[in-house]
Structure 1
Amino acid sequence: MNFQNANKTLKVVLSVGDESGIGPEIILKALCSTEIPENIDFILVGSKKSLQNTYEHLKSLGLENLANPKNLQIHDLEISSLDNNLKLSCGNSSFYYLKKAIEIVKQYRNSALVTGPICKKSWSLAGHHFSGQTEVLAKSCGVKNVGMLFTAKSPITGWRFNTLLATTHIALCEVPKQLTAELIHSKLDLFKDFCNIYSDKPILKVAGLNPHAGEEGILGNEEKDWLNDALIAWNKKNRGIKVLGPLSPDSCWNSSVKAWSDKNAEKHDGILAMYHDQGLIPMKVIAFNYSVNTTIGLPFIRTSPDHGTGFDIAGKGIAQSQSMIEAIKAAVEMTNNSRLLNTH
């Protein structure tokens, strides 16, 4: 299928995600928002029937500001149900929606991917053993060094708040085993390239792994044994970057709170967190609905809302679409900046 549209300047491919969650709802809400840039060629990947059913159900609840699937460009994939099990079937469908969306976005140089939320357990039940969409993207693109970056643009100050994760979807007990100087260097390389979009001389902070960044070995040895030296060695090769750390994790994001709400506050360009929740808790508390998950290091831009499937509120018409709106806006902004893109 050829989706070329000469009247549009940028393609944004949207994979619907798990259809038993809030993905279809927040997509239909977001595409009707006045915050979405004009002249975007949207391509949805999912079930046309499911999207239409979601639309009609939400309309029956009294919701008005919704995009009508009949007016949308949809790559219709009807995946056979598995064992009449909704959770398993939706997990299976969402996996293939993502795979097809990746295939489509690869066809066009000026394109970006926005992904709806998926359920990792449902993927596993359906036989797709990946710890998240990031890992599928990396494998599909043949890229080893990718980064899970959470970014948010403050509606108060316009400052972009960035937190990159050194490790992602792994058990907490595995984090110290995975962290190495080489890993930290590879993530800082990615982070530098991303932050250079917004600043010629970025200021990067690095959170310590242990409480109080180890307190000189009293509360943990990682900082003293190798992390300090790793940061010094990387900074010697990247003298245009100011690297601060390892910093005590309990106060590392304090300056982010100020920069988010005060135009005159001292700004930094990004923080490298050692593990998933260390970075995500302050990110979500500070940026709330404005936080966006993006995968850096791919040959195209990929963003996603920073929340999950919301099974508990699915179908109620109350799902917040702001993070999906921000994901689309971020994808457009980043794709339009050619310095972020590899050729594809």
Structure 2
Amino acid sequence: MLVLTQGDPAGIAPEITIGAWQALRNQEPAFVFLGAPELLAGRVPVQLIEKPSQAQAVFAHAVPVIPLKLNTPAVQGQPDSRNAESIITSISEAVRLVQTDAATALITNPISKDVLKQAGFAHPGHTSYLAELCHTPGEDVMMLAGPSLRVVPVTVHVSLKTAISQLSPELIIKTARTTAYDLRHKFGITSPRIAVAGLNPHAGENGLMGTEERDIILPAIKTLQNEGLTVTGPFPPDTLFTPQARKNYDVALCMYHDQGLIPLKTLDMAEGVNVTLGLPIIRTSPDHGTAFDIAGKGIADPSSLLAAIRLASTLVHNRKTYS
């Protein structure tokens, strides 16, 4: 059974959860919502349950909910740090359920980093907190996956200046190894093909436009190739994402956040999924935020959450098959 976290109760998480249940109620996969039942009740039928194993029997006619309490009533579009406790509890309890095999995978609804920070939350977001809960700090890798493209940024939520300073052969090698491992074990790709983007225009043009390709990226690629991995590049970033180029790889390893996320969101915004690699559990998430500006207006699109739920189910199946 898949477990879906509450997310920020003032954002679009309740709306897209309802939309996902309405789309999936007569098919698979089923999920259990771990959060405050009043966020959903009144708009769709809700059934309180105690454990995920009870969810399947009620999913067709009601959203199965393992209830949590809010510290203050949620107002759509008005985030309140007083509810940070329930947001964090939903994540930690969902991880515990997966770790104890009471659930098979975790799908996280969007949270606000700022809301949690105001409440003293020490992590910059979901991912590092999940890694801490899984006792694998620093091993997490972010992948964005859509129908047309998969990308993995080597550096993530830092300024472009900081991203360049953080780049090293060791970081590229570590990220690529984790990516290749999970592409095999979770995505069912026996021999994953990793295309590596350059950092500079024209991938440096033999040092004329930058030396990072020669000094940092190419040595990492050679090391990975010597380990038997199918890794190619560095490729000029402006041609790496064309339809013809995408046929030649299973994932693009990008040097910084926007280098990968701009093409991913251009191609697959509605169905893009955030997948955390490097964890002993399966975790997916919609590739968008809390959208406080449209919360409660009935216009939130559940497509990305639906894609995240379906991908989580597929990854569970793939991992069982690989094992």
Aligned-residue identity in percent: 34
TM-score (norm 1): 0.81
**282, 292, 302: which is aligned to 2:263?**
282
Contact 1:335 1:341 in 2 (8 A): no
Contact 2:11 2:79 in 1 (8 A): no
> Equivalent residue for 2:58?
none
Q: Is 243-252 or 299-308 further displaced after alignment? A: 243-252
> Equivalent residue for 1:269?
250
Contact 1:151 1:293 in 2 (8 A): yes
Give the direction of change, closer, same or farther, for the CA distance of 1:315–1:109 in structure 2 (3 Å limit).
closer
What secondary structure, in the 3-state scheme, does the structure 2 residue paired with 1:89 have? helix
Shift of 1:216: 2.2
> Equivalent residue for 1:303?
284
Mapping 1:1-344, distance limit 5 Å: 11-34=1-24, 37-38=27-28, 40=30, 42-52=31-41, 55-56=42-43, 67-70=44-47, 71-81=62-72, 86-108=79-101, 111-143=104-136, 144-153=138-147, 161-196=149-184, 197-238=187-228, 241-255=229-243, 266-338=247-319
Shift of 1:37: 4.7
Contact 1:116 1:305 in 2 (8 A): yes
Shift of 1:151: 1.0
What secondary structure, in the 3-state scheme, does the structure 2 residue paired with 1:20 have? coil
One-letter identity of the residue aligned with 1:327: A
Q: How far apart in 1 are the matches of 2:322 and 2:5?
A: 20
What secondary structure, in the 3-state scheme, does the structure 2 residue paired with 1:95 have? helix
Contact 1:300 1:341 in 2 (8 A): no
Where structure 2 has 5 or more consecutive residues not aligned to the other structure, the ranges are: 48-61
Contact 2:33 2:66 in 1 (8 A): yes
One-letter identity of the residue aligned with 2:6: V
Contact 2:182 2:278 in 1 (8 A): no
TM-score (norm 2): 0.86
Q: How far apart in 2 are the matches of 1:108 and 1:248?
A: 44
> Equivalent residue for 1:5?
none
Task: Tell me the alpha carbon deviations over residues 288-338 of structure 1, each in whole angstroms, 9 at most, x when there is no partner.
Answer: 211100101111110000011111110011101110000000000001112
One-letter identity of the residue aligned with 1:227: I
What secondary structure, in the 3-state scheme, does the structure 1 residue paired with 2:207 have? coil
Contact 1:28 1:68 in 2 (8 A): no
Shift of 1:199: 3.3
Q: How far apart in 2 are the matches of 1:162 and 1:109?
A: 29
One-letter identity of the residue aligned with 1:125: Q
Contact 1:16 1:97 in 2 (8 A): yes
Shift of 1:16: 1.6
Shift of 1:201: 2.7
Where structure 1 has 5 or more consecutive residues not aligned to the other structure, the ranges are: 1-10, 57-66, 155-160, 260-265
Q: How far apart in 1 are the matches of 2:34 and 2:155?
A: 29
Contact 2:134 2:279 in 1 (8 A): yes
Give the direction of change, closer, same or farther, for the CA distance of 1:35–1:150 in structure 2 (3 Å limit).
farther
Give the direction of change, closer, same or farther, for the CA distance of 1:181–1:340 in structure 2 (3 Å limit).
farther
Shift of 1:79: 3.6
Contact 2:197 2:254 in 1 (8 A): yes
Contact 1:299 1:341 in 2 (8 A): no
Q: How far apart in 2 are the matches of 1:86 and 1:201?
A: 45
What secondary structure, in the 3-state scheme, does the structure 1 residue paired with 2:40 have? helix
Give the direction of change, closer, same or farther, for the CA distance of 1:114–1:39 in structure 2 (3 Å limit).
closer
What secondary structure, in the 3-state scheme, does the structure 2 residue paired with 1:295 have? strand
Task: Tell me the alpha carbon deviations over residues 171-199 of structure 1, each in whole angstroms, 9 at most, x when there is no partner.
Answer: 22211222211111111111112333443
Contact 2:110 2:290 in 1 (8 A): yes
Q: How far apart in 2 are the matches of 1:36 and 1:123?
A: 35
What secondary structure, in the 3-state scheme, does the structure 2 residue paired with 1:200 have? coil
Q: Is 207-216 or 302-311 further displaced after alignment? A: 207-216
Shift of 1:145: 1.4
Shift of 1:23: 0.7
Q: How far apart in 2 are the matches of 1:25 and 1:121?
A: 21
What secondary structure, in the 3-state scheme, does the structure 2 residue paired with 1:226 have? helix
